[in-house]
Amino acid sequence: MEQQATDVVIATRTALSQASALAVQYSFSVIGALILLLAGWVISRMLHNWAYAGLSRVRGIDETLARFFSNIIRYALMLLVFITVLGQFGVQTASIIATLGAAGLAIGLALQGTLQNIAAGIMLLVLRPFRVGESIETSSVSGTVTEIGLFATELRTGDGLYRLAPNSTLWNVPVTNFSRERLRRHDLTVSLGHDQDIDAAQATLMDLARSNPAVETSPPPTTFIADLTKDETVLTLRYWVTTNRWWATTREMLRAAKSMFYLPPAPEANEEPATQ
């Protein structure tokens, strides 16, 4: 019995000694892991702020894009720190990296459409085929851009409706931007009978263009015969207007041309109206 008691005491002491050694060993590992996590978090925040500040100063880099890339740097560094901490506890990090790679591939296949929109959003923000406030048109969508995001672009239609367009539908199709260029051309056409004076009509169109201060003088307005049919001659007045005044000016010019060419002349003051 004494021998058994002695063996139990020795075994207990050995177990306690081993437990204390393990506690000391893992306590240092835990403290080191906490220090590593804290340092990684601080460094990742610093790199995030530096990257965001640096990208924000680059011309042509949108704020959304600057935040996106700076967040990628931050979370990639935190992931590396987390894997390093697991390695401190004897975890096989190679298997973790392989698992993360497989999971990333599976997620990428599942979110293929979403990732396509993100890639298109990055290209739209970098190349800037349109900006916020510009009016655009594609084969499937048109309107004024109100916000460009990583996943979709928000627009406001001409009749005041809200429209959300996935970025992939705006990137791989031709886009017409009505607001990008400073000047925009307009062709005003007038149909005349063959008995009317073409030279006088062209002079009238040129006077119409010169009388409107919104019409640009460089390039100067021009007139020419655009078409000739059996019954009429089609004249065109070609002129340029600043883009922000194009709509209002073209409506004014059409109204003025209507009164000059297609309204009957007013009766003379001393002319009595015809009686039935």
pLDDT in tens, 112-146: 567 888 888 888 888 889 988 999 999 889 999 99
Q: Which helix (H) or strand (E) holds 224?
A: strand 222-228
Domain 21-110, CATH class in plain words: mainly alpha
Contacts of 220 (CB under 8 A, 6+ apart): none
Q: Where in the chain is the domain with CATH 3.30.70.100?
A: 183-261
How far is Cα 137 from Cα 175, in angstroms, rounded to an integer?
6
How far is Cα 201 from Cα 149, in angstroms, rounded to an integer?
52
pLDDT in tens, 241-262: 999 999 999 999 999 999 888 7
Instruction: Pick 127-177's CATH classification: 2.120.10.30, 2.102.10.10, 2.30.30.60, 1.10.3720.10.
Output: 2.30.30.60
pLDDT in tens, 31-70: 767 777 788 788 888 887 888 787 777 766 666 667 777 7
Domain 183-261, CATH class in plain words: alpha beta
HSE of 197, CA atoms in CB hemisphere, 13 A: 6
Q: Are 41 and 85 in contact (CB under 8 A)?
A: no
Q: Which helix (H) or strand (E) holds 31?
A: helix 2-56
Say what the pTM is.
Answer: 0.60
Q: Where in the chain is the domain with CATH 2.30.30.60?
A: 127-177
Q: Where in the chain is the domain with CATH 1.10.287.1260?
A: 21-110
Per cent of the chain over pLDDT 70 is: 71
pLDDT exceeds cutoff 70 at 263? no
pLDDT exceeds cutoff 50 at 198? yes
By mean pLDDT, which of 56-65, 77-86, 90-99 is the weakest?
90-99
Query: Which pLDDT score is estimated for 274?
Result: 46
Instruction: Give the pLDDT band (50/70/90) at residue 276.
Output: very low
